Amino acid sequence: MYVSKFAFLLLFIFLFLQFYCVYSYPFIKNFSNKDPIFYDLRAKIIKYNKRVNVPLFIYAYKVKEGDTFFKIANKVNGWQGSIATINLLDSPFLRVGQEILIPSKKGLFLINSKEHRFNSLLVATRDLTKSEKIKIRKNNKISEFYFFDSLKQPELSFFSDTEMLFFLNSDFIFPLKKFIISSDFGFRPDPFTGMKNFHTGIDLAAPMNSLVFCSSYGVVVVVDYNDIYGNFVVVEHKNNVKSLYGHLSSYIVKKGDVLRTGDIVGRVGQTGRSTGPHLHFEILRKGSPVNPVKILK
């Protein structure tokens, strides 16, 4: 009887450890070879690039202040498609504190679901039967993914030019992560004179020096200062659309810079005609202001 219980206990421990090893992922603290977990990932990537037949391993990382999707992808050989799809991203925008998965193999990770629009676009142009089925744990739930390995299906495991443009330009995003809309678009009493005038954007109140992010893929066309907007930046997007970021305490971009969705523009301030720390944000279509709230996500 004692042997039977002991054998049962050993079986339970074995199954628990097997589950834990498969579905709990090593956590990368820093993208430095001094971090043993990142060093291990890099070693596996090197083997993969040499076409050494190694199993798929998955690692976890928590997004930090200053991280962007493309900075993270560049740390792991520029595997943009792998990171985008395994995390079911619709755009390159990442939140500070967001936990993402990073695979040791290059390719696309798709699910047979219409819940995520970018994933749906990729699935529509690929035959899932040509992929490898794998199970991945995300948000405490195990999901079945279809993996297109770049070494086995090179023609199916990369974004086409159209797919990449869709990923980069999927939508305009809010340029701050935490904020309160302190003043809406449209007519309002002027905060200085009390007279009714037209507010051409929205004011997003946020702590001083909060990071300001580019709302969509585009090119910086203006970096300047005036008495109204203070330090401000204008980014030109496709289809004659521009976005303006005003009252910045500082900026890190210059005219001609190409920005991706979620790239850092500068920091919240109160330069120019301002009653306190906030971002004045405008979207202009063919030179005319439109309500940003109607097109932001």
- CATH 2.70.70.10, the chain: domain bounds: 180-294
CATH architecture of 180-294: Distorted Sandwich (2.70)
d(CA 18, CA 14): 6
DSSP state of 260: -
Which residues, in sequence order, are bridge partners of residue 103? Answer: 58
What whole-number distance in Å separates Cα of residue 59 and Cα of residue 276? 42
As a whole number of angstroms, the longest Cα–Cα distance in the chain is 88
- Cβ atoms of 203 and 243 closer than 8 Å: no
Q: How many CB atoms lie within 10 A of CB 288?
A: 9
Whole-model pTM: value is: 0.57
Query: Would the CA dihedral through 223, 226, 231, 232 be positive or negative?
Result: negative
Residue count of the chain: 297
pLDDT tens for the chain, 297 residues long, are 444 555 555 544 444 444 444 447 999 999 999 999 999 999 999 999 998 888 999 999 999 988 889 999 999 887 899 999 999 998 887 878 889 999 999 999 999 987 777 888 899 889 999 999 999 988 778 899 999 999 999 999 998 877 887 787 656 888 998 888 888 898 888 887 888 889 999 999 999 999 999 998 889 999 999 999 999 999 998 878 999 999 999 999 999 998 888 899 999 999 999 989 999 999 999 999 999 877 775
Residues in CB range of 135: below 8 A, 6 or more apart: 22, 23, 142, 143, 144, 145
- Residue partners of 132: CB distance under 8 A and separation at least 6: 146, 147, 148, 149, 152
